[in-house]
Amino acid sequence: MRFPHISRHGRITAFVKKATYLAQRKKFLVLLRETRTKSGLTQVALASRLLRDQTFVSKYETGERRLDILELRDVCRALGVDFKDFIRDLDTELR
């Protein structure tokens, strides 16, 4: 079997963008930002609650950095939002 994006030396020569997830990821980031602003917190205030720098919040809100599930749970707690409710809201947005 031949894979045109892999050279005969095993180097990947092309990258495939996962466009399917781009729209979903954008909705996730918008929901994160909206949840923070509805909670009445600035990035600085949220970062303080998380014991992190403001750049941590900025980077995940802009998509420069991804949150793992445990970090997302911590963010929800710091915002005073139930984690399960946040996930339900995200699921609704993605439908």
Domain membership flag for residue 64? yes
Domain membership flag for residue 3? no
Q: 31-68, pLDDT tens digit by residue? A: 999 999 999 999 999 999 999 999 999 999 999 999 99
Domain membership flag for residue 60? yes
Give the Cα separation of 71 and 35 in Å (integer): 15
Q: What's the CATH number where 40 sits?
A: 1.10.260.40
| DSSP 8-state code for residue 67 | P
Domain membership flag for residue 1? no
Give the Cα separation of 64 and 41 in Å (integer): 21
Domain range for 30: 19-94
Assessment of whether the complete model's pTM goes beyond 0.95:
no
Q: 54-63, pLDDT tens digit by residue? A: 999 999 999 9
Domain membership flag for residue 8? no
Section 64-73 average pLDDT: 97
Q: 6-21, pLDDT tens digit by residue? A: 566 666 555 555 677 8
Domain membership flag for residue 56? yes
Q: How many domains does the chain have?
A: 1
Closest among 60, 75, 65 to 30, alpha carbons compared: 60
